[in-house]
């Protein structure tokens, strides 16, 4: 059984979190713990046709971002890691500076201090030097930075194909066996 924390912040691209939660729900022996910021919920409404209720139903446990007493706020609650998807530059900055004023950033800080796997899916463009420095700081302490940058070697036909491919990269990073995207098998 893998226990994965999914933090969703208010960057554009809530569909990446939605798709990942669908894949995690379909994967055997994976327990998900979901926390969404207020702006993530707003962007879900702005960018998708999925209701908050339906998104939350994909997770095994759902927390309020203001609930700093939640299980995932403590290092004694064992997890296999956390993904912040998409990660706004505000949330990236908070995590890079251990500014733990909400559950997403506190859970990320716990993931770092307990030396567990932390995956950041940053979404902003262009990236300023401040954004890049914060991401570099996180990368240097072992966080994996997996931006939602599409690949085209697999000839995606739909937006779903692009998003699936990104979910594959996240599942791969957590060591969850999957074939949700098309893998490169050589050019022969």
Ligand X SMILES: Cc1cc2nc3c(=O)[nH]c(=O)nc-3n(C[C@H](O)[C@H](O)[C@H](O)COP(=O)(O)O)c2cc1C
- CA 104 → CA 36, 46, 70, 177, distances in Å? 8, 21, 11, 26
Residue of the chain from 25, 46, 78, 115 that contacts ligand X (CB under 6 A): 46
Q: Which stretch binds ligand X (CB under 6 A): 17-25, 33-41, 162-170, 172-180?
A: 33-41
Q: Which is nearer to ligand X, 39 or 176 (CB)?
A: 39
49: exposed, middle or buried (C-beta count within 10 Å: 0-12, 13-18, 19+)?
exposed
Q: Which is nearer to ligand X, 39 or 174 (CB)?
A: 39
Cβ–Cβ contacts within 10 Å for residue 38, how many?
A: 12
Question: What's the CA gap between 180 and 166, in Å, rounded?
Answer: 9
| Nearest residue to ligand X, by Cβ distance, number only | 10
* Number of residues this chain uses to bind ligand X (CB under 6 A): 15
3-state secondary structure of 59: coil
Question: What's the CA gap between 15 and 173, in Å, rounded?
Answer: 19
Residue of the chain from 5, 11, 110, 135 that contacts ligand X (CB under 6 A): 11
* DSSP code for 72: G
- Which token pair is 102? 């909400």
Contact (Cβ atoms closer than 8 angstroms) between residue 180 and residue 29: no
String of contacts with ligand X for each residue 84-103, x by CB under 6 A? ----xxxx------------
Q: How far is the CB of 35 from ligand X (least distance, A)?
A: 11
Per CB under 6 A, contacts with ligand X among 106-165 are 123-124
Question: What's the CA gap between 184 and 167, in Å, rounded?
Answer: 15
Q: How far is the CB of 54 from ligand X (least distance, A)?
A: 20
Q: How far is the CB of 40 from ligand X (least distance, A)?
A: 5
Q: Which is nearer to ligand X, 9 or 79 (CB)?
A: 9
Which spans of this chain sit near ligand X (rule: CB under 6 A)?
Answer: 9-12, 37, 39-40, 43, 46, 88-91, 123-124
């Amino acid at each position: 059984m893998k226990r994965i924390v999914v933090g969703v912040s208010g960057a554009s691209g809530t569909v990446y979190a939605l798709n990942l939660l669908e894949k995690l729900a379909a994967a055997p022996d994976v327990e998900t713990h979901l926390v969404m910021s207020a702006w993530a919920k707003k962007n879900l409404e702005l960018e998708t046709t999925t209701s908050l209720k339906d998104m939350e139903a994909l997770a095994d446990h759902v927390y309020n971002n203001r609930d700093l007493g939640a299980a995932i706020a403590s290092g004694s609650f064992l997890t296999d890691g956390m993904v912040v998807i998409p990660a706004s530059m505000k949330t990236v900055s908070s995590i890079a500076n251990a500014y733990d004023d909400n559950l997403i950033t506190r859970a990320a800080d716990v993931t770092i201090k307990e030396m567990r796997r932390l995956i950041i899916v940053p979404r902003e463009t262009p990236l300023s030097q401040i954004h890049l420095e914060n991401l570099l700081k996180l990368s240097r302490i072992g966080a994996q930075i997996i931006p939602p940058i599409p690949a085209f070697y697999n000839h995606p036909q739909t937006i779903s194909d692009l998003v699936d491919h990104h979910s594959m990269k996240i599942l791969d990073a957590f060591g969850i066996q999957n074939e949700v995207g098309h893998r490169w098998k050589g050019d022969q």
